[in-house]
Structure 1
Amino acid sequence: MSEMRFNPITLDWVIMASDRSMKPNDFRKEDRVRPELPAWRENCPFCVGNEHLSAQEIARACDKDGSWQVRVVANKYPAFSPMEVVERHNEGTFRSLSAAGAHEVVIEHPKHNVALSDFTAPHVRALFGLYRERYEALRLNPAVESIVIFKNHGERAGTSLEHPHSQITAAPIVSAQVEARLQEARRYHQKTGDCLYCRVLADELEAGVRIVEESESFVAFIPYASLSPYHLWIFPRQHASSFGAIGDCDLDHLADILSRQLRHLHVALGDPDYNFMIRSSPARAVHSPYYHWYVAIVPRVSHLAGFELGSGTYINSSRPEHCAEVLRAAAVMN
């Protein structure tokens, strides 16, 4: 019989469809063959040597020889415009505001054909160092209320360009989804005096069965009520609400564990399409006692269908305990 589990962080009920439990090979797309890409394309604005084709450069991280490792440029088609004043309009039930903030593209590597799962740990460290730098810079914009750092890998994850890249958006609002999670975390803290996220992490560590990897500073695990198969969270061990406050040592540890988890997913699921995002506190809540930043990696191996869209309830076709076991085995194979 199927089981329903509650996710106290996302506030979702998830149906664990045990009768439909799927093996890793069930998620592999045997008919999908990623094309062999060249290391450089003449018309790619993100390739090294083609910097003049990209939008205005905002920041870069360089190698010891002065060549760039990672670049941040303005998005040519931004969802949010670089403004510091938000204009608001209200008329009856019609409300609008100017989409002030920022929308930046992070060019993750000079080469066209290198996937993030194949980056060296120092290169991932440089990438996340620029994430932190831009996060802190955007947080100072008075129009910005929330910042999202995310990556789309593969067509099913929403990517539109081949060259490895990710994005940073800074918005003038806190979304309804994030606000609901904040309110629940605040309520839990007021009731218990504890951080809900710290409590979830402690419970997962005690249970052990869904832990994929532990490092000195981070824990990678499949949550008890994961919304989809192989949906992975990476939590800092120490309470911290803002990604922008991460220290250099923890940045090194984060680069290490993230690199390994992406390789494990690659081995286990055959280079799946995925999204990853850094979920951090709102821009003004730098030292919140009840929010805890983390990284989510979501392989796009399942679809939302009519039931999910109509009910708001997820069906997970692979139990979290099994997914964690598969990823631990992939670590041995890798």
Structure 2
Amino acid sequence: MPELRQNLATKEWVIIATERARRPEEFVEPTHARTDERPDWLADCPFCPGNEELDLEVLRIPQEGAWQLRVVCNKYPALQREGERTFSFDGIHRMISGVGHHEVLIETPRHNSAPALQRSDEVALMLRAFQLRGQEVTTDPRVQHLIYFKNHGVRAGTSLLHPHTQLIGLPVVPHTIRLRTEEARRYFDDHGMCVFCKMIEDELSDGVRIVMESEHFVAFVPFAAFSPFHLWILPRRHHSNFLDTQANEIADLGHLLRQVLRKFYVGLNDPDYNYVIRSAPIHDPAMEYLHWYLALVPRVSRAAGFELGSGMFINIALPEASAAFLREVKEDN
């Protein structure tokens, strides 16, 4: 019989469609051109070496010589850097000027690369660059919240195949973020502990949904995963803001994230995916009830009318089976 599961932290419900469930191996991508089969350089790719003058650069590592990583302003930004943060209200509708930051982190000069194909230290460098730019963007008083995300593949929403991630500094805190923050605060008031710390404790005790562990992080498929192989990576140390993550933790996360994505690459044949770093609103103090984390969603199933109408998801893969499948994948193959 199908069952409904609720995420302890977000209170979101998910239908686990056990009677429609597919075996994990049925989600493996059919034959397609994988990332490593692309050329390592394209003359008309704006992110490949030789086209640096096409973008406004805000960070380059190293600063001199051949670059390993660059951060540029998005050429077609969702928000504009210039301008005042102004408000208007006509008695019914509220509006804020579309100012903020929209940056693109070009992860590597290699067109045919991806975190799953990179070294752990390269992935860690990308995370560190996120921190550096986040720290800079948060000095802008117009910015209220940071969104860090990656779209890998067409089904995940990418328009350019060269490996890149993005950072958007918003002039508002999104309603969904406020709701999640309030749920975490309510749990803390009721139970006297962080709900995410509780999830880590329970998942480690149960073990059935754990995918990987490291010294500082735990990767698991949530009890109420909303899609096949939906995965969270949480820091063991409680802190609410990604920008407060320490250098040794960033290095450790780079290794773990690379290994998890390698499992996806090998086990699911380089699927399209998104990941997002969920962190506290930037002007709030360090929160004892909120925990930052990285959410990773392979695009191996599709949302449709039910999801749009209900706000709920139907997962046709048991979370425990997804975790078991990923644990068994030999990521160094």
Shift of the alpha carbon at 1:25?
3.1
Question: What does 1:88-237 correspond to in 2, within 5 Å?
Answer: 88-237=87-236
- TM-score (norm. length: structure 1): 0.96
Residue of structure 2 equivalent to 1:44: 45
Q: Is structure 2 residue 279 aligned with structure 1 residue 276?
A: no
Alignment partners' CA distance in 2, 1:198 and 1:100: 35
Shift of the alpha carbon at 1:23?
1.9
Alignment partners' CA distance in 1, 2:124 and 2:49: 20
- Greater alpha carbon shift after TM alignment, 134-143 vs 26-35: 26-35
Q: Is structure 2 residue 25 aligned with structure 1 residue 33?
A: no
Q: Do the aligned residues in 2 keep the contact of 1:242 with 1:285 (CA within 8 Å)?
A: no
Alignment partners' CA distance in 2, 1:216 and 1:179: 30
Q: Do the aligned residues in 1 keep the contact of 2:266 with 2:329 (CA within 8 Å)?
A: yes
Question: What does 1:76-91 correspond to in 2, within 5 Å?
Answer: 76-83=75-82, 85-91=84-90
Q: Call closer, same or farther: CA 1:275–1:310 in 2, change over 3 Å.
A: same
Shift of the alpha carbon at 1:123?
0.9
- Greater alpha carbon shift after TM alignment, 267-276 vs 16-25: 16-25
Q: Do the aligned residues in 2 keep the contact of 1:153 with 1:275 (CA within 8 Å)?
A: yes
Aligned residue for 2:260, secondary structure, equals helix
Q: Unmatched 5+ residue regions in structure 2?
A: none
CA RMSD of aligned residues (A): 1.6
Shift of the alpha carbon at 1:255?
0.1
* AA of the residue aligned to 1:266: Y
Q: Do the aligned residues in 2 keep the contact of 1:58 with 1:73 (CA within 8 Å)?
A: yes
Q: Call closer, same or farther: CA 1:31–1:123 in 2, change over 3 Å.
A: closer
Q: Do the aligned residues in 1 keep the contact of 2:29 with 2:270 (CA within 8 Å)?
A: no
Q: Is structure 2 residue 56 aligned with structure 1 residue 56?
A: yes
* AA of the residue aligned to 2:25: N
Q: Do the aligned residues in 2 keep the contact of 1:150 with 1:277 (CA within 8 Å)?
A: yes
Residue of structure 2 equivalent to 1:9: 9
Could you give the per-residue CA deviations for residues 288-327 of structure 1, whole angstroms, max 9, x where no partner exists? 1111001111001111111111112111100111011000
Shift of the alpha carbon at 1:112?
1.1
* AA of the residue aligned to 2:173: V
Q: Do the aligned residues in 2 keep the contact of 1:88 with 1:98 (CA within 8 Å)?
A: yes
Q: Do the aligned residues in 2 keep the contact of 1:243 with 1:280 (CA within 8 Å)?
A: yes
Q: Do the aligned residues in 2 keep the contact of 1:104 with 1:167 (CA within 8 Å)?
A: yes
Could you give the per-residue CA deviations for residues 235-267 of structure 1, whole angstroms, max 9, x where no partner exists? 000101000011110010000000000000112
Q: Do the aligned residues in 1 keep the contact of 2:24 with 2:321 (CA within 8 Å)?
A: no
Could you give the per-residue CA deviations for residues 184-238 of structure 1, whole angstroms, max 9, x where no partner exists? 1111112222111111111111111000111110000000001111001000001
Residue of structure 2 equivalent to 1:267: 266
Alignment partners' CA distance in 2, 1:332 and 1:90: 53
Query: How many residues get paired?
Result: 332
Residue of structure 2 equivalent to 1:22: 22
Q: Do the aligned residues in 2 keep the contact of 1:83 with 1:102 (CA within 8 Å)?
A: no
Alignment partners' CA distance in 1, 2:41 and 2:154: 20
Aligned residue for 1:44, secondary structure, equals coil
Aligned residue for 2:330, secondary structure, equals helix
Alignment partners' CA distance in 2, 1:288 and 1:300: 32
Alignment partners' CA distance in 2, 1:173 and 1:332: 39
Alignment partners' CA distance in 2, 1:31 and 1:126: 32
Stretches of 4+ aligned residues off by more than 4 angstroms: none
Alignment partners' CA distance in 2, 1:153 and 1:228: 17
Aligned residue for 1:169, secondary structure, equals strand
Identity %: 45
Q: Do the aligned residues in 1 keep the contact of 2:10 with 2:183 (CA within 8 Å)?
A: no
- Greater alpha carbon shift after TM alignment, 82-91 vs 259-268: 82-91
